[in-house]
Amino acid sequence: MPRKTRARSSRDRELLRQMLRIRRFEERCVELYSGEKICGFMHLYIGEEAVAAGVCHALTSEDAVVSTYREHGHALARGVPIRSVMAEMYGKAAGCSRGRGGSMHIFDAERRFYGGNAIVGGGLPVAVGLALADKLLSRGRVTACFFGEGAMAEGEFHECLNLASLWGLPVLFACENNLYAMGTALARSQAETDLALRAAAYDVAAWPVDGMDVRAVADAAERACESIRAGAGPHFLELRTYRFRAHSMYDPDRYRDKAEIEQWKLRDPLGQIRLPEDELAALEKEIAQELEDAVTFAEEAPIEPIEELTRFVYSEVRP
């Protein structure tokens, strides 16, 4: 069980701040979803915040992130402005993907955030390619690629680990093992459940991390990134975490025990770092304001005119 200790450093404070932002953002999104302000598929990250906060903390602004449909946390921790994420949830023109993507497809070129990809495993080859470009251009960057343990059953996982390892590419494979792929428990779907062991089969440095302990995640990610930057090739972290909510807003969550969920909630990553009461209250207030501002912004933002529907199918600037 991770220790519940006082914030010791500015890093601790920042990690807590990011986790709290993600949590409050998503709680608000649930309300907005009930009010039909947000539609479509929405996958919550609640419970897994330590992973995004810890991994993104280890990245520089030069690095890249490739994510999945469960990417609100990654986007916020990466610094994608909360306003543009919220406006995207609303499907507004001011959204980071101009309303075309929604919850599952957040993109932000400025933050090198290469999207929420909603095809399980679909982001891995993209990450390998980004890293290949960095390697060929000697850029010394890292590409962090988030995916769920479910993706490890897909062929693409195996093809990509092999390629990244073979070519010594600077990829951080961040596997969020929350134990379930929709309703399918890891042990019911994958023969070897020691995930780091499987990654290691491709000669990739790999180890498991307590994904509920944000400090442990940040430490591991820093160590991995340092090693990647030093030219040691791809690294794989199995981040052991848990989603407190259903797979998506459509999921009646029939396949797991309520007691199991309660058990994991005892290890809520937000409880790991304690702040003095007044400091915590100030932080909550700051986040509440940031959120309020984002919701107001999204509410008031104009929608994309229908005449613009066919834009961005082809590039507008052509030689």
Partner 1 sequence: MTTYREAIREAIAEALTADERVFLMGEDVGAYGGCFAVSLGLLERFGPERIRDTPLSESAFVGAGIGAALGGLRPIVEIMTVNFSLLALDQILNNAATILHMSGGQFNVPLVIRMTTGAGRQLAAQHSHSLEGWYAHIPGLRILAPATVEDAGGMLAPALADPDPVLIFEHGSLYNSTGEPGTGPVDITTAAVRRPGRDVTLIAYGGTLHKALTAADELAAGGIEAEVVDLRVLRPLDEATVIKSIIHTHRAVIVDEGWRSGSLSAEVTARIVERAFYELDAPVERVCSAEVPIPYAHHLEEAALPQVPAIVTAARDVVSS
Ligand X SMILES: Cc1ncc(C[n+]2csc(CCOP(=O)(O)OP(=O)(O)O)c2C)c(N)n1
- Show the binding pattern over residues 88-127: x = contacts ligand X (CB under 6 A), - = does not: ------------------------------xxx-------
Q: Give the per-residue contact string, 59-78, with ligand X (x = CB under 6 A; - = no).
A: -----------x--------
* Integer CA distances (angstroms), 268 to 21, 46, 213, 237, 263, in order: 15, 9, 9, 20, 10
Binding partner of residue 178 among partner 1, ligand X, none, CB under 5 to 8 Å per kind? ligand X
Among 43, 83, 92, 141, binds partner 1 (CB under 8 A): 92
Closer CB to ligand X, 70 or 141, in the complex: 70
CA angle 266, 221, 29 (to 5 degrees): 50
Exactly one of 117, 143, 177, 178 binds partner 1 (CB under 8 A); that residue is: 117
Q: Which is nearer to partner 1, 95 or 269 (CB)?
A: 95
Nearest Cα to Cα of residue 124 among 67, 75, 169? 67
Q: Which stretch binds ligand X (CB under 6 A): 128-136, 145-153, 212-220, 267-275?
A: 145-153
Look at residues 114, 113, 116, 121 and name the one whose alpha carbon lies nearest to residue 148.
121
Q: Among 99, 150, 170, 211, which residue sits at the site for ligand X (rule: CB under 6 A)?
A: 150
Among the listed ranges 26-34, 37-45, 193-201, 274-282, the one in contact with partner 1 (CB under 8 A) is 37-45
For ligand X (CB under 6 A), the number of binding residues is 14
Which listed option, ligand X, partner 1, none, makes contact with residue 109 (CB within 5 to 8 Å by class)?
none
CB contact at 8 A, 177 and 149:
yes
Q: Which two tokens stand for residue 31?
A: 């309300």
**Residue 105 site contact among partner 1, ligand X, none (CB < 5 to 8 Å, cut-off depends on kind):** partner 1
- 3-state DSSP percent of the chain in helix, strand and coil, to 5: 45, 15, 40
- Structure tokens of 204? 């990739």
Residue 169, C-beta contacts closer than 8 angstroms, at least 6 positions apart: 128, 131, 132, 134, 135, 163, 233, 234
Note whether 162 binds partner 1 by CB under 8 A: no
Q: Are 145 and 172 in contact (CB under 8 A)?
A: yes
Question: Would you say 153 or 201 has its CB closer to partner 1?
Answer: 153
Q: What angle do CA 75, 287, 268 make, to 5 degrees?
A: 70
Using CB under 6 A, which of 182, 230, 281, 282 touches ligand X?
182
Output the six-digit token pair for 207: 């180890």
**Using rule CB under 8 A, residue 138 touches partner 1:** no
Q: Which position has the token pair 């075309």?
A: 100
Listed residue (229, 177, 208) closest to 58, CA to CA? 229
Position among 145, 151, 275, 295 found at the interface with ligand X (CB under 6 A): 151
Q: Tell me which residues touch partner 1 (CB under 8 A).
A: 39-41, 91-92, 97, 99-102, 104-105, 117-122, 150-151, 153-156, 181-185, 188-190, 251, 254-255, 303-304, 306, 309-310, 313
Q: Tell me which residues touch ligand X (CB under 6 A).
A: 70, 118-120, 148-151, 176, 178, 180-182, 247
